Amino acid sequence: MAGARMAKRGVPEGLWIRCPQCKATVFRKEAAARFNVCPECNHHFYLPARERIKQLLDEESFEEWFADLRPKDPLQFNDRVLYSERLKAEQAKTGMPDAAVVGRGYIRGRPVVFSVTDFAFMAGSMGSVVGEKLTRAAEEATRLMLPLIIVSGSGGGARMQEGILSLMQMAKISAALARYDQAGGLYISILTNPTMGGVAASFALQGDLTLAEPGALIGFAGKRTIWNTVRLELPEGFQTSEFLLKHGFIDRIVHRKDLRTEVARIIDYCEH
């Protein structure tokens, strides 16, 4: 069951992976050696937060902050499954208290405040804990005057189960990022597959620079919602990184293997 669910995301346990894009059967170790990218078609597989930290930050340099923040169930939300139960299941599945990991580390020797959301935890959606952690990360980056990196990956955006409080996290983190901006901080936003809804409409698109991995789904409204409204066939490659680049919303599309170098280079350009 768990295996089947993982397969859908493209990273099953076992020796072989089937690439969801080119359908090639890929040797798992080979994909892993290539930053979890399909060797046949360059499809970027889902990457857990911990793996992201390993790939992007210097070895053993990450120091996690605010790891003791945990979600609650303020609305007693019940959609046949209690949110509190759902949280327990997600925590057991991922080993994480919620969808965000924040802290400080080094990128090729450059100190940064680093944040990442993990799609595996409730599709990387933003509730109070994600909002609070990212806000604190931005506040710490302001205090320490360090570059801030946020790697976004969220299918749904604001988390429905925390209702209006999730929506207000968008406002909260935006305000913290605006203050960081005012103070002259450098914020590099890295969009990964998928970055949608309230996450896209807040912190993910508030960077000084917006980078995206190739082929990521990025947008505001879901395709089904759009289809239901306009009843028109959606253009080829609609809401992909390449689509956003073409329309002027992304600075650069960067292959996962090059991200570390690219980020380091940008930091050097933006040094005060």
Partner 1 sequence: MASPNGFLPFEKDIFEMEELLSKLEGQAGATEEIRRIKKEITRLIQKVYSNLSAWDTVLVARHPNRPQTLDYINLIFDEFVELHGDRAFGDDRAIRSGFARIGEHRVMLLGHQKGHTLKERNECLYGCAHPEGYRKALNKMKMAAKFGIPVICLIDTPGAYPGIGAEERGQAQLIANNLFEMSRLATPIICVVIGEGGSGGALGIGIGDRVSMLEHSYYSVISPEGCAGILWKVATDDTKRQAADALRLTARDLFKLRVIDDIIAEPLGGAHRDARQMGNSLKAYLVRYLRDLKDVSTEELMEQRYQKFRRMGVFEQGPQES
- Residues forming contacts to partner 1 in the complex (CB under 8 A) are 66, 68-72, 74-75, 77-80, 127-129, 131-132, 135, 156-160, 162-172, 174-179, 181-182, 197-198, 200-206, 218-222, 225-226, 229-230, 232, 234-235, 238-239, 243, 247-249
Angle in degrees, CA 220, 226, 230, rounded to 5 = 140
The nearer residue to partner 1, 38 or 158, going by C-beta atoms, is 158
Closest contact distance (angstroms) between CB of 207 and partner 1 is 10
The tally of CA atoms less than 13 A away on the side-chain side of residue 191 is: 36
Residue type, position 213, single letter: E
Closest contact distance (angstroms) between CB of 47 and partner 1 is 22
The nearer residue to partner 1, 66 or 106, going by C-beta atoms, is 66
The nearer residue to partner 1, 37 or 129, going by C-beta atoms, is 129
Closest contact distance (angstroms) between CB of 130 and partner 1 is 9
How far apart, in whole angstroms, are the C-alpha atoms of residue 12 and residue 6? Answer: 5
Closest contact distance (angstroms) between CB of 141 and partner 1 is 15
How far apart, in whole angstroms, are the C-alpha atoms of residue 110 and residue 165? Answer: 35
The nearer residue to partner 1, 105 or 157, going by C-beta atoms, is 157
The nearer residue to partner 1, 62 or 98, going by C-beta atoms, is 98
Residue 106's beta-bridge partner residues? Answer: 111
Closest contact distance (angstroms) between CB of 244 and partner 1 is 8
What token pair was written down for 174?
């935006």
What token pair was written down for 102?
């924040």
Alpha-carbon dihedral sign for residues 187, 192, 197, 198: negative
Tell me which residue of 132, 21, 2 sits closest to 117, measured CA to CA: 132
